[in-house]
């Protein structure tokens, strides 16, 4: 643990400009980030990449250097989807010790005040940004993301999401008066005078339950939203993706200690495979906030059983695309092909169901039958992934065996338009890499396309007409949840109908994406990721409501 001291007030002033710009950005929703997304040497320096890789290599086969209560035992649970041996050991701490340490840390963190908390969090994000290459390797070899994606989504983009949540929390807790001299005139005599103080009181211990596929991108909003509003956090990473969160916790504890605050404000809860630590911690009465990203089954369980807590979940969904017509046919196919292929479809935002009229669509190349659209989409995917090096850069590797099983099973669900094939990785010979599977179904096969098939699996659903396609989009999202929807049409009435359907279903929708913006990408400070209005998520993961459940305003008053 570092011994350098840092006054929290000085930390706040050091990063004040960044915070003020972040608050402005969440209000104005424009394009902004303080964390460059390019891994080029001229951005982060010539030594950043080799230093980051060396730091990652230094963790392998060793006990991770984390000093926290308990943890005499070690757990080793990770395996790289690329086949390399990780062998990192993490402290295994019992739930009683974790909860007690977090509760003891709460008063000092609460009393530090919003500026000190923001200063600590901002400094931690700054240090994490400086270690983005180290984090990229950690994310790549736990999630299976390709390196560039792991750098961007695991590093700068995740940091931006953390800063965004921090900005919401700071803005919400400080925008109102902290104290006031209250005077009420009387008909006779002097006015009634009271001195009033208002405090943003934290809800309590927060539990962050991480996922395998996006161990930082999905974790940082909840982590920093809880911290900036005064809640200590127990971070429980997925057993196959511990290292990225261990690095994060280590950095936060380092900054806390330097600032003279209790490092147990942030704790790592590594677990053995199938231990069920998340369920144990989530139902503890002391745990008052739960953030979760993962399966619908466990997300639903948390919502039904962690009754004492503010529960925010991001779960599975049946993301949908309606194709009615287009004036940029080849560009539409290219955009969809990339969206289906990126990270092998292992994103909560990847399209699954592509609804199009059975009679075909009008395009700038003339009328295309539904069969031709399917064949052309398959050809676009094959062209995109035709060269192994480029293919692996887009696809990454399959994160777990469950995805491989689903690919195998989905091939028997309908007419296969595009087979999923293996791709040999030019660098990692043991990596499990698969191309997308596209299956054609009739609109009557709702038993299949009405549920999520996580991974590189999509369905071309033939409908009677565009009206039915829009209706099915609305109904499947209302029932099964979704984080994204898209529509392609040259007709304003169709675009309006799709937007109304999306509003009814509570899903974010994109129209006529044909360039370098893709439906499964979300920009921090501008896009609201997750509406919280359908079963895929219980809260919009980037809006004021996401932080509002993490604190209460409590007042004190006395006669002046």
For tokens 């208002």, the residue is 198
pLDDT at residue 540 in the model: 73
Average pLDDT, the chain: 96
Distance from C-alpha of 156 to C-alpha of 143, rounded to nearest angstrom? 17
CA 306 to each of CA 96, 312, 410, 530, 538: distance values in angstroms, whole numbers, following the listed order? 17, 11, 34, 21, 13
pLDDT at residue 6 in the model: 82
Name the CATH code of domain 15-316+545-559 (choices 3.10.129.10, 3.40.228.10, 3.40.50.300, 3.40.605.10).
Answer: 3.40.605.10
Q: How many Cβ atoms are within 10 Å of 369's Cβ, its own excluded?
A: 13
CA 179 to each of CA 73, 197, 548, 552: distance values in angstroms, whole numbers, following the listed order? 48, 4, 20, 16
pLDDT at residue 1 in the model: 42
Distance from C-alpha of 54 to C-alpha of 66, rounded to nearest angstrom? 18
Q: Which residues contact 538 (CB under 8 A, 6 or more apart)?
A: 299, 303, 311, 312, 313, 532
Q: Domain-by-domain residue ranges, the chain?
A: 15-316+545-559, 320-511
Is 3.40.309.10 the CATH number for 320-511?
A: yes
Nearest-5° angle of CA 195, CA 197, CA 201? 160
Q: Which residues contact 445 (CB under 8 A, 6 or more apart)?
A: 413, 414, 461
pLDDT at residue 530 in the model: 85
- Which segments of 492-531 does DSSP mark as H helices, in order? 492-505
CA nearest 330: which of 377, 370, 371? Answer: 377
pLDDT at residue 2 in the model: 43
pLDDT at residue 4 in the model: 66
pLDDT at residue 373 in the model: 98
Q: How many Cβ atoms are within 10 Å of 307's Cβ, its own excluded?
A: 9
3-state secondary structure of 254: helix
Cα distance between the two ends of the chain: 46
Low-confidence ranges of the chain (pLDDT < 50): 1-3
| 89 phi/psi in degrees, rounded to 5 | -100, 140
pLDDT at residue 442 in the model: 97
């Amino acid at each position: 643990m570092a011994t350098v001291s840092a006054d929290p007030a000085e930390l706040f002033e050091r990063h004040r400009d960044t915070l003020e710009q972040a608050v402005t950005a969440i209000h104005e929703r424009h394009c902004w980030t303080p964390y460059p997304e390019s891994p080029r040497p001229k951005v982060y320096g010539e030594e950043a990449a080799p230093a980051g890789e060396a730091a990652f290599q230094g963790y392998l086969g060793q006990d991770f250097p984390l000093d926290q209560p308990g943890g005499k035992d070690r757990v080793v649970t990770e395996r790289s989807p690329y086949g390399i041996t990780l062998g990192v050991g993490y402290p295994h701490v019992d739930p009683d010790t974790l909860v007690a340490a977090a509760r003891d840390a709460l008063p000092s963190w609460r009393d530090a005040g919003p500026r000190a908390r923001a200063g600590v969090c901002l400094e931690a994000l700054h240090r994490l940004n400086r270690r983005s290459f180290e984090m990229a390797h950690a994310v790549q070899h736990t999630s299976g993301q390709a390196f560039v994606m792991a750098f961007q989504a695991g590093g700068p983009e995740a940091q931006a999401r953390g800063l965004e949540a921090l900005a919401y929390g700071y803005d919400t807790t400080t925008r109102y008066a902290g104290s006031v001299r209250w005077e009420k005139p009387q008909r006779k005599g002097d006015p009634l005078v009271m001195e009033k103080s208002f405090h943003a009181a934290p809800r309590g211990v927060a539990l962050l339950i991480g996922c395998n596929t996006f161990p930082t991108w999905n974790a940082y909003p909840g982590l920093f939203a809880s911290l900036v509003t005064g809640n200590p956090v127990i971070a429980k990473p997925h057993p196959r993706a511990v290292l990225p969160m261990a690095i994060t916790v280590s950095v936060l504890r380092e900054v806390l200690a330097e600032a003279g605050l209790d490092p147990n404000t942030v704790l790592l809860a590594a677990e053995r495979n199938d231990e069920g630590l998340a369920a144990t911690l989530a139902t503890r009465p002391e745990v008052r906030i739960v953030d979760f990203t993962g399966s619908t089954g466990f997300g639903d369980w948390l919502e039904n059983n962690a009754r004492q807590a503010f529960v925010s979940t991001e779960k599975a969904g049946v993301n949908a695309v309606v194709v009615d017509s287009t004036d940029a046919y080849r560009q539409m196919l290219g955009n969809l092909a990339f969206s289906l292929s990126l990270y092998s479809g292992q994103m909560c935002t990847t399209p699954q169901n592509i609804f199009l009229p059975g009679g075909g669509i009008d395009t700038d190349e003339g009328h295309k039958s539904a069969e031709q659209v399917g064949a052309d989409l398959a050809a676009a995917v094959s062209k995109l992934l035709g060269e192994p090096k480029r293919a692996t850069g887009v696809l990454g590797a399959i994160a777990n065996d469950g995805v491989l099983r689903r690919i195998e099973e989905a091939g028997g669900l309908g007419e296969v338009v595009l087979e999923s094939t293996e791709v040999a990785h030019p660098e990692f010979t043991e990596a499990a890499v698969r191309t997308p599977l596209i299956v054609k179904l009739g609109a009557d096969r709702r038993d299949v396309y009405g549920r999520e098939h996580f991974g590189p699996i999509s369905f071309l659903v033939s409908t009677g007409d565009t009206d039915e396609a829009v209706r099915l989009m609305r109904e499947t999202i209302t029932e099964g949840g979704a984080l994204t929807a898209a529509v392609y049409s040259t007709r304003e009435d169709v675009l309006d109908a799709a937007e109304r359907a999306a509003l009814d279903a509570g899903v974010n929708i994109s129209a006529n994406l044909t360039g370098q913006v893709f439906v499964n990408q979300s920009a921090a400070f501008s896009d609201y990721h997750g509406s919280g209005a359908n079963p895929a998520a219980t809260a919009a993961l980037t809006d004021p409501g996401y932080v509002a459940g993490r604190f209460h305003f409590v007042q004190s008053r006395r006669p002046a």
